[in-house]
Every structure is written in C-alpha cells, then in structure tokens.
Structure 1
C-alpha cells in the first residue's frame, strides 16, 4: 500500500478492511517518515504497532 492510499483510508467514513500479515487491523495514522503507519488489531485489544506501509494490504 502507498502513503496516498493510507491518507485516503484515514479520511474516509467507510469501513475499509486492511490486513497486516493476514490479520485485520485499523490504521491509526501515517507516521511522519511516510514509510510506516501505526496500526492496531480490530477487536478488544488495542495494542498499537508501527509497521511498514508496504506490508499493509487492502481487502
């Protein structure tokens, strides 16, 4: 995924499914470096992780 698409997803009111390593995640924000994003798992756990945006896949 690229930074432009992540910005579009973040500004969208739609529920757009994104996966990281096969697991559904929410994107919290695009980090300043433009190459990583902060995400957390969908569901009750809200542990956040910084991941490379090229590892995120839109479903």
Structure 2
C-alpha cells in the first residue's frame, strides 16, 4: 500500500479491511513525510505498532 491510499482509508467513513502480515488492523495515524502508519492490531486498543505503510495490505 502507498501513503496516499493509507490516508484515504484513514479518512474514509467506510470500514475498509486492512491487514498487516495477515492480521486485521485499524489505521490510527499516517505519517506522510516518513511513509509510516500507527496501527491497532486486532481488537485490543493497547496493541499498537508503527510500521511502514508498504507493509499494509488492503483486503
């Protein structure tokens, strides 16, 4: 995935399925300048990671 698509998903009012290494995630923040995203893995709000957006896959 690229930064533009990650931002579009983040800003969308729709639920768009995104995965990180086969696990469902929610995008919480997109850092355009660095090509990074902060994501929540699964349904646990405490399980967040900052990863490169190119690791995210739209499903």
For normalisation by structure 1, the TM-score amounts to 0.88
Flag structure 1 segments of 5+ consecutive residues without an equivalent: none
Who is 1:21 aligned against? 21
Determine if contact 2:41/2:49 at 8 Å carries over to the other structure: no
Q: Distance in 2 between matches of 1:8 and 1:32?
A: 12
Determine if contact 2:3/2:30 at 8 Å carries over to the other structure: yes
For normalisation by structure 2, the TM-score amounts to 0.88
Q: Distance in 2 between matches of 1:34 and 1:4?
A: 12
Number of residue pairs the alignment of both structures matches: 58
Flag structure 2 segments of 5+ consecutive residues without an equivalent: none
CA RMSD of aligned residues (A): 1.2
Who is 1:40 aligned against? 40
